Amino acid sequence: MRPSVYLAYLSMAVTILIGNCVQANTLSGEALYDAACGACHSLGTSTDHRIGPPLGTLLNRQAGAIQGYRYSEALSNSGWTWTLPTLLAWLSDPDAAMPNNAMNYVNHLTATETQLLGEWLLQQP
Ligand code: HEC
């Protein structure tokens, strides 16, 4: 094989490899969380003075249950429990799902990404 042809193949392989990594990265729940939620929310359960409440141990938790965090009345009185369906409704369009809530968030993720992020988040301690 001529060196130039070999190089062309090599660069093609590298491009495909990088492409796969970027794609895998976009499609990881953790990366999506870091990009879309991490600025306002921590994981775990202790309030650390971020804008939103901590999101650890979310699965089957009553909405508005973190002691010491000042929730909106809408969220405190919602009677919601966090499961995959409620979380997906909340993330897809918070204002439509629960009017007058205080989460200032517009979802720019695809439905697939939102689902992946939701499934990942509900497994976090
Ligand atoms: C701009 C800041 C901000 C961003 C970004 C944000 N949130 Fe929130 N989130 C909040 C605030 C503020 C509340 C409290 C809302 C209320 O009291 O009505 C909240 C509440 C929540 C709750 C309810 C928790 C509980 O204890 O009942 C969940 C679940 C949640 N957010 C998930 C997410 C996820 C997942 C993302 C990323 C896709 C996200 N949020 C992005 C600010 C944010």
For the chain, which domains are there? 29-121 (1.10.760.10)
> At 85, is the pLDDT very low, low, confident or very high (cuts 50, 70, 90)?
very high
> At 89, is the pLDDT very low, low, confident or very high (cuts 50, 70, 90)?
very high
Instruction: Report pLDDT for 123.
Output: 98
Rounded to the nearest whole angstrom, what is the distance from the C-alpha of residue 83 to the centroid of ligand 1? 15
Rounded to the nearest whole angstrom, what is the distance from the C-alpha of residue 53 to the centroid of ligand 1? 7
Whether 98 is in the pocket of ligand 1, judged by its Cβ within 6 Å, is no
**Which of 13, 41, 37 shows the shortest CA–CA distance to 107?**
37
Instruction: Give long-range contacts, CB 8 A cutoff, 24+ apart: 43-51.
Output: 43/124, 43/125, 44/125
Instruction: Count the Cβ atoms, other than its own, within 10 Å of residue 64.
Output: 19
Instruction: Report pLDDT for 27.
Output: 79
What pTM did the predictor assign?
0.84
To test ligand 1's pocket by mutation, which of 33, 41, 45 has the most ligand atoms within 8 angstroms of CB? 41
User: For the purposes of burial, counting CB atoms within 10 Å of the CB of 117, is it exposed (0-12), middle (13-18) or buried (19 or more)?
Assistant: buried
To test ligand 1's pocket by mutation, which of 28, 32, 34, 40 has the most ligand atoms within 8 angstroms of CB? 40
Whether 72 is in the pocket of ligand 1, judged by its Cβ within 6 Å, is yes
> At 101, is the pLDDT very low, low, confident or very high (cuts 50, 70, 90)?
very high
Q: pLDDT (tens digit, 9 = 90+) per residue, 32-64?
A: 999 999 999 999 998 887 899 999 999 999 999
Mean pLDDT of the chain: 87
Instruction: Report pLDDT for 49.
Output: 79
Whether 35 is in the pocket of ligand 1, judged by its Cβ within 6 Å, is no
Q: What are phi and psi of 62, to 5 degrees?
A: -65, 140
